[in-house]
Each structure stands twice: as structure tokens, then as C-alpha cells.
A = this chain, B = another copy of it.
Amino acid sequence: MSEVRVVILGASGYTGAELVRLLAGHPRVRIVALTADRKAGQPFGAVFPHLAGLDLPDLVTVDQVDWSAADFVFCGLPHGTTQEIIAGLPAHLKICDLSADFRLADPALYADIYGHPHRAVDLQAEAVYGLSELARAAVASARLVANPGCYPTASLLPLMPLLGRGLIDPADITIDAKSGVTGAGRAAKEGSLHAEVSEGFHAYAIASHRHGPEIDQLLSRAAGGVVTAGFTPHLVPMNRGILATTYVRLAEGVDADGLRGALAETYDGSPFVRVLPPGQAPHTRHVRGANLCLIGVFADRRPGRAILVSAIDNLVKGASGQAIQNMNLMLGLPETLGLEQPPLFP
């Protein structure tokens, strides 16, 4: 296959723009269709002027897409609207879905959290949860990948290997997570206004955020038993970035250095996950625009405990970058293709 013909559904949001920005530098991809039902007919550059210089098709409705001329679909539609559309796609297409629709393996849990029955239960069974570094083989053979949420990506990359090796206590995990405002999307909401976000800080959806059950599902898988983690999201007055500060209790005989070593071993050969040397703390600004996850490990002030700090760009490793990483895996391309850009700082 000399060229991958890509369709992006729901291209008028920030994750759509990031897919386009990153794919513009992907040597094997051509974007053949971009959809945005309410903005159909507009040039993409009218919606995102920073990308006006690229040679792109105009926005169309989903109905107008010629599927026979496509190989791969990124689906960035709002949560809940995705299931039926994906269920109706021709079988020759491979799909990476950036919504939450196929992330929860248990349809009953989905119904409970999202408030309506799952509309594509068969597909749900087929979907692979695409936390790339920890699911390479499954992603590589998948037709439908559920791209992980942004908070789960930041939280799971440090936690899952430690749980899998029994190095931390599954009953005592507290994730204090902080996100930039693009996590809320481009919808015009009072709570996302500059005047309501800048120069202030708060926690939201305390103990009730939808990413909590998503995190639990994967932690449970890694631990081989039911795990419920503490999880509190906060809104940082910035656009991009998630930092998760995770408090763990160490297994008998383990210390912070042991955790760091285990993570370094796990991610050896994973170019997008960097375990930092002792004493070095991750900043979100050091991953801005890049498909990276930085992880720092620290001894707690209290014996027997440690602190994991992880940083990602929520729109890249937490969404569009990881989606392209998954596409590369699904298509047998080098994992880093199109994702080599260094971060932009300041």
C-alpha cells in the first residue's frame, strides 16, 4: 500500500485539527475527506485558519463521504453519536475512534455511565482499547480501536506496569489529575470562556468524572482483580496538557527506585514514553504538541509510599497523536511515523 487514504469524521473540533496538523507531516497518508455536519461546504481553513496553508478537501457531511476511496477512518464525533455511524461503515475500513463509545468493555457499565444502552454491542466486543505501548499486538491486529481518554492515558501509563508486576497496592491508588481547557472541546460553554478559566483553578466532577470507570477497568485488568482508584480532575488555566500526580502505597520491600526501574524497563524501546531520572519532575510544557508521556517517580514523605507524576499533551498523546500511533500499528507502519516533531516551548 503506497498511500493510506484517510477520512476524519468530526473534523471541526480540536482533536480533528490536531489529526490534520500531525497527518500533514505523515509521509504515507493522504486525507481524502473531512466531515463536519454543521460546517459542511466550508473550506477547512475557514474553521481552522492556522491550517489554511495545507492542501485539504473542503468539509462535507458524513453522508457525502465516498467510502470506497478510503482505507482508514478517524472518528472524532461526540460521545454517543459514534456507535451507529461506525456500525454502518463498510468492512474494508480500519477505524480508530477517539470518542468514549467503545472504551468500556462492559455494555452495562456503559449504559450506567453514559445514560443510554450501547447501540453496537457486537462491535464493542471487537474493539481494542488502544493504549498503544501496552497493547501493541492487539492494536496491530484490530479493525476497530477505541482510543483511550486523555486522563486515562496519563494515569494508566505509569500505573499499569506497576500493578501488573505487583509493585504497588491496588487498594490504595489516588490520582489527582489536572487538565488544560481543550479537554472540554471547542463548544461555546460559559465554563470554557477565557474570563472563567484564566487566573484561577478548581476541581470539577469530583468523584463523578466519566474517566473514573475507564481508569478502573484498565487498572483492574492489570491487577487481575477489581480496582477502584481515587480520581479527581482539575481545570488548569492553560490550553494543552495533563499532569497526573498519583499517590501509591508500595508493596513490601519495594521503594521508589524500584518503581522507576520497572517503568524504565517496561518502556525501554518505547520512544514516546520517557521515564525521567531521579529528582526530575515532568512539566506539561515539555510535551506540548508532541506525542510524549513523561513520567517521574518520587519517594513520598511517608515511608512505604511513592508519588508518580506523569505529563502528556491531552490533544496529542491524550487524543490525536495516540490515534495516529495506533493507525501506524494497525497498518504495520513504523510506530513513530508522522509523530517525530519535538515539543513547542515556550
Contact = CB atoms under 8 A, between A and B. Distances in A.
B53 A274 contact: yes
Interface stretch (A68-76, A98-106, A124-132, A299-307): A299-307
Given A247-B247, A286-B50, A292-B53, A346 B232 contact: no
Interface in A175-195: 176, 178, 180-182, 186, 188-190, 192-195
A325 to B, nearest CB: 15
A28 interface: no
Contacts of A243: 201-203, 234
A198 B200 contact: no
Contacts of A52: 274, 286
Contacts of A60: none
Given A207-B299, A228-B302, A238 B342 contact: no
Contacts of A324: none
Interface in A218-243: 228-232, 234, 236-241, 243
Contacts of A296: 206
A289 B202 contact: no
Copies in the complex: 4
Contacts of A230: 247, 300-302, 305, 307
Contacts of A41: none
A53 B276 CA distance: 11
A140 to B, nearest CB: 24
Given A286-B50, A292-B53, A25 B199 contact: no
A186 B190 contact: yes
Contacts of A285: 50, 196, 199-202
A103 to B, nearest CB: 18
Contact of A245 (B176, B236, B299): B176
Contacts of A341: 25, 341
A25 B300 CA distance: 40
A105 to B, nearest CB: 19
Nearest to A190: B188
A281 interface: yes
A202 B240 contact: no
B198 A282 contact: no
A253 interface: no
A280 B196 CA distance: 16
A212 B302 CA distance: 11
Closest 3 CB pairs of A and B: A200-B285, A195-B346, A202-B283
7 contacts: A21-B342, A188-B190, A198-B198, A201-B236, A207-B298, A212-B301, A239-B346
Given A50-B288, A199-B238, A212-B301, 19 more contacts: A14-B346, A50-B286, A50-B343, A176-B176, A176-B245, A181-B194, A186-B195, A188-B193, A192-B193, A194-B197, A194-B198, A196-B285, A198-B239, A201-B283, A228-B301, A230-B247, A232-B245, A239-B346, A341-B341
